[in-house]
């Protein structure tokens, strides 16, 4: 990391010197060739995904400087194919799309391949699907060229919705042709997204391990973590705990705890208690011997998952054991829902609801039609007999007052549970 930082500051100093007004006048024009400037841009972008977030400002500076250079340079600089490639790569690396239009309009000597510029223009204008087949073919044709990895990456972006298998192939080509770069970072992250969407567990775990080993400090690592959590939770019965531990072991302890917390939360909402328990145990283990700030939150998620289990008393304590003010608004809603569920489960039954009306047939003898008629004529016994109810379902023999109390309890409880189910369903959709 120290060597990378040293190289970065070297490039930064060189860039500032190269593009200062005084140095530009004395600089040989060939030293400002676009392909040389592009190398600095690529290094800066690769530094960003490697964890040097301070390089973002330099990236913006480089994009603006290259843009100006491409617009003001003599068209003869494109006699060198490296400058043609530089212009195209600049466009695919976050450059100004209007600059590509400018270069095409002034390309009287045919420096630019019309097929490449056409697919890029369609892609940048949001119409990539119109040229999906051409883009795929062009990406494979330029596979061994400098623009190959970039074409493969945007080709995968176009095909990801309609032909995910082909998109995976293009992403594989992109990352293998440009290892350790921003291209590989994007290709790995988007490959994982396909695996999550299509339920490809083994491939997803393989991509996850590569990502963690290479781009743990990328500013896009949070997106990766979200995808990884979705993959694990969706396949909780197939993925082994050791697989998760092995992949996350490349992270430092704080980052591991954060991902395990995300797993615990998503698994608790999905009602997957075994996975929740595993994630909670990992959070506690990683915080052993320290002031584990994540411990109470982990217990809270574990308590949510433990509500339907035999140890509901402890689960309820874990749910209520964390101060709601320390929770996010979404987790505060979850805590309220979990508390309500626990209260409904732990509430002692109302003795009145268990009271049965007196049964004149105390000897449990068979009641014949004659005996039934006789019982029906006895004073005070008519209401004790099962009466017809709407829908054809017989009464359970409870008194009218008890039925009213019981029905009110069921209605209230059902209303609360429906409200909680709706809350959890909404929460699950947000994950």
> What pLDDT score does 420 carry?
52
Does 212 reside within a domain?
Answer: no
183 phi and psi angles, rounded to 5 deg: -65, -45
Does 147 reside within a domain?
Answer: yes
> What pLDDT score does 300 carry?
65
- Of 303 and 266, which is predicted with more confidence? 266
Residue 124 CB contacts under 8 Å (≥ 6 apart), including other chains: 91, 97, 100
Q: What percent of the chain has pLDDT above 70?
A: 59
Report the C-alpha gap between 353 and 218 in whole angstroms.
60
Does 146 reside within a domain?
Answer: yes
- Label residue 313 by pLDDT band (50, 70, 90): low
How many independent structural domains does the chain possess? 1
Residue 240 is given by DSSP the state -
Model pTM above 0.85: no
Q: Residue 304: is its pLDDT beyond 60?
A: no
Q: Domain range holding 147?
A: 128-178
Packing angle between helix 81-92 and helix 56-72, nearest 10 degrees?
130
Does 149 reside within a domain?
Answer: yes
> What pLDDT score does 22 carry?
42
- Label residue 286 by pLDDT band (50, 70, 90): confident
Average pLDDT over residues 378-396: 42
> What pLDDT score does 233 carry?
95
Lowest-confidence region among 91-105, 200-214, 255-269, 349-363: 349-363
Does 158 reside within a domain?
Answer: yes
What letters, b where the CB count within 10 A reaches 16 and e where it falls short, cover 285-295? ebbeeeebebb
Average pLDDT over residues 85-113: 95
Helices and strands of the chain, counted as H and E runs: 22, 0
Residue 367 is given by DSSP the state -
Does 185 reside within a domain?
Answer: no
State CA 330 to chain mean position distance. 16
- Label residue 382 by pLDDT band (50, 70, 90): very low
pLDDT, the chain, mean: 76
Does 321 reside within a domain?
Answer: no
Q: Residue 406: is its pLDDT beyond 70?
A: no
Q: In this structure, are residues 233 and 272 in contact, taking their beta carbons and an 8 Å threshold?
A: yes
Lowest-confidence region among 46-60, 133-147, 353-367: 353-367
> What pLDDT score does 349 carry?
55
> What pLDDT score does 317 carry?
52
Residue 306 CB contacts under 8 Å (≥ 6 apart), including other chains: 273, 277, 312, 314, 315, 318
Q: Residue 231: is its pLDDT beyond 50?
A: yes
> What pLDDT score does 281 carry?
87
> What pLDDT score does 364 carry?
47
Does 140 reside within a domain?
Answer: yes
> What pLDDT score does 8 carry?
47
Q: Residue 214: is its pLDDT beyond 60?
A: yes
Average pLDDT over residues 33-60: 93
């Amino acid at each position: 990391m120290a060597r990378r930082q040293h190289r970065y500051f070297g490039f930064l100093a060189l860039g500032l010197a190269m593009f200062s007004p005084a140095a530009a006048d004395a600089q040989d024009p060939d030293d400002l060739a676009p392909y040389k400037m592009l190398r600095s841009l690529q290094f800066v972008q690769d530094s960003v995904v490697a964890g040097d977030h301070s390089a973002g400002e330099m990236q913006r500076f480089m994009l603006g400087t290259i843009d100006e250079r491409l617009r003001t340079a003599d068209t003869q600089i494109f006699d060198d194919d490296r400058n043609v490639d530089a212009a195209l790569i600049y466009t695919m690396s976050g450059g100004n799309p209007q600059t590509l239009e400018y270069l095409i309009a002034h390309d009287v000597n045919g420096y630019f391949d019309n097929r490449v510029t056409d697919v890029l223009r369609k892609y940048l204008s949001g119409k990539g699907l119109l040229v999906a087949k051409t883009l795929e073919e062009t990406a494979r044709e330029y596979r061994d060229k400098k623009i190959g990895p970039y074409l493969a990456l945007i080709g995968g972006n176009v095909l990801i919705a309609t032909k995910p298998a082909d998109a995976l192939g293009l992403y594989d080509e992109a990352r293998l042709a440009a290892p350790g770069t921003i291209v590989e970072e994007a290709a790995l992250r988007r490959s994982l997204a396909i695996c999550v969407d299509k339920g490809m567990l083994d491939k997803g775990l393989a991509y996850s391990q590569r990502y963690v080993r290479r781009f743990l400090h990328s500013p896009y690592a949070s997106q990766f973590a979200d995808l990884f959590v979705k993959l694990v939770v969706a396949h909780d019965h197939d993925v082994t705990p050791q697989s998760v531990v092995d992949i996350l072991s490349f992270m430092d302890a704080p980052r591991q705890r954060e991902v395990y917390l995300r797993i615990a939360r998503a698994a608790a909402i999905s009602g997957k208690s075994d996975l929740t328990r595993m994630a909670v145990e990992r959070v506690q283990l990683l915080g052993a011997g320290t002031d584990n700030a994540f411990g109470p939150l982990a217990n809270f998620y574990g308590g949510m998952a433990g509500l339907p289990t035999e140890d509901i008393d402890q689960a309820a304590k874990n749910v209520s054991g964390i101060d709601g003010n320390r929770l996010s608004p979404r987790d505060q809603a979850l805590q309220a829902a979990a508390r309500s569920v626990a209260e409904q489960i732990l509430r002692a039954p109302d003795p009145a609801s268990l009271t049965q009306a007196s049964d004149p047939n105390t000897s449990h003898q068979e009641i014949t039609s004659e005996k039934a008629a006789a019982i029906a004529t006895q004073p005070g016994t008519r209401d004790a007999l099962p009466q017809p109810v709407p829908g054809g379902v017989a009464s359970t023999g409870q008194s009218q007052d008890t039925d009213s109390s019981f029905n009110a309890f069921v209605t209230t409880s059902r209303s609360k549970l429906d409200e909680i189910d709706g809350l959890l369903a909404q929460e699950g959709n947000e994950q």
